[in-house]
Amino acid sequence: MKVAIVTGASSGIGQSAAIEIARRGTGVILTYANNPRGGLETAAAIEKEGGTAVALPLNVGESGTFAAFRDSVADALRDTWRRDTFDYLVNNAGFAQTSLIEDMTEEMFDGLMRVLLKGPYFLTQKLLPLMADGGAIVNTSSSSATTATGVEPGYSVYASMKGGLDVLTRYMAKEFSTRGIRVNAVSPGSTRTRIGDDAFTRFPEVVPALAAKTALGRVGEPDDIGAMIATLVSDESRWVTAQNIEVSGGYNL
């Protein structure tokens, strides 16, 4: 059985990706940070459908913990799947904070940088020795980093870090190609998740306006993105690498 690691899988896109990957017959090691209940709920949902899942704590903003996390992954692979490698990595964990440039603090800047760019960089580096040749990586980026969706004030740092992740995706694809490992990114548009302190729940009035700017007439749901991530790591996408796929329903089209 193939095994995937999905970070930030206690809710939203990560939860959907983990469940969809498991539906396709892949074991899942999923991580959670501040929401252990959500992580366990994701694992339970996978197991309810006959899949196999292990939930592990991980703060992607604390790179000093990555060596210990790698050891926990090695233990889970051995104990649950009788393997010493895994096949797929989904760098999905993240959070959003907004601030105008004139109000941005170094503390907020550094927090976003650690989670959105430094975290995926060094977590991938740390896990590479455990990754099987011929595997796949998907990085969750954001349409806020592309020119196609326009620029919203307040997202300068969030979008800049996601833009850095887009560049990193191409370099990973180049360097890891010698091992047959494919690397792609997905860029969700407006998606109904808990990001931004549950902004969609707190500000439901923004949904109709976002839906009106979307060609397919609604905001995205986590399952819309999770299905694409599951497709990208699977063998269906065996000839796709170094791509950043916008999954937005045609936002601003």
Give the per-residue pLDDT at 148: 66
The neighbour count for residue 219, using CB atoms within 10 Å, is 22
Paired with 185 in beta bridges are 139, 244
Task: Give the span between the Cα atoms of 99 and 220, in whole angstroms.
Answer: 24
Report angle CA 54, 58, 63 to the nearest 5 degrees.
Answer: 140
Half-sphere exposure of 179 (CA within 13 A, CB side): 17
Amino acid 185 reads: A
Task: Give the span between the Cα atoms of 212 and 189, in whole angstroms.
Answer: 13
Give the per-residue pLDDT at 193: 67
What architecture is domain 3-247?
3-Layer(aba) Sandwich (3.40)
Give the per-residue pLDDT at 191: 84
Where do the domains of the chain lie? 3-247
Q: What is the pLDDT of residues 162-221, one digit of tens each?
A: 999 999 999 999 999 999 999 999 999 888 765 555 555 666 777 888 888 888 999 999
Q: What is the pLDDT of residues 83-139, one digit of tens each?
A: 999 999 999 999 999 999 999 999 999 999 999 999 999 999 999 999 999 999 999
Give the per-residue pLDDT at 207: 85
Give 14's pLDDT tier (boundaries 50, 70, 90): very high
Which of 32, 88, 155, 158 is catalytic? The answer is 158
Active site residue 171: no
Q: Is 141 helix (H, G, I), strand (E, B) or coil?
A: coil
Task: Give the span between the Cα atoms of 19 and 6, in whole angstroms.
Answer: 10
Q: What is the mean pLDDT of residues 2-8?
A: 98
**Phi, psi torsion values for 179, nearest 5 degrees:** -105, 10
Task: Give the span between the Cα atoms of 247 and 83, in whole angstroms.
Answer: 33
Give the per-residue pLDDT at 200: 59
Q: What is the pLDDT of residues 141-166, one digit of tens each?
A: 998 898 666 688 999 999 999 999 99
Report angle CA 57, 140, 64 to the nearest 5 degrees.
Answer: 40
Give the per-residue pLDDT at 210: 86
Give 65's pLDDT tier (boundaries 50, 70, 90): very high
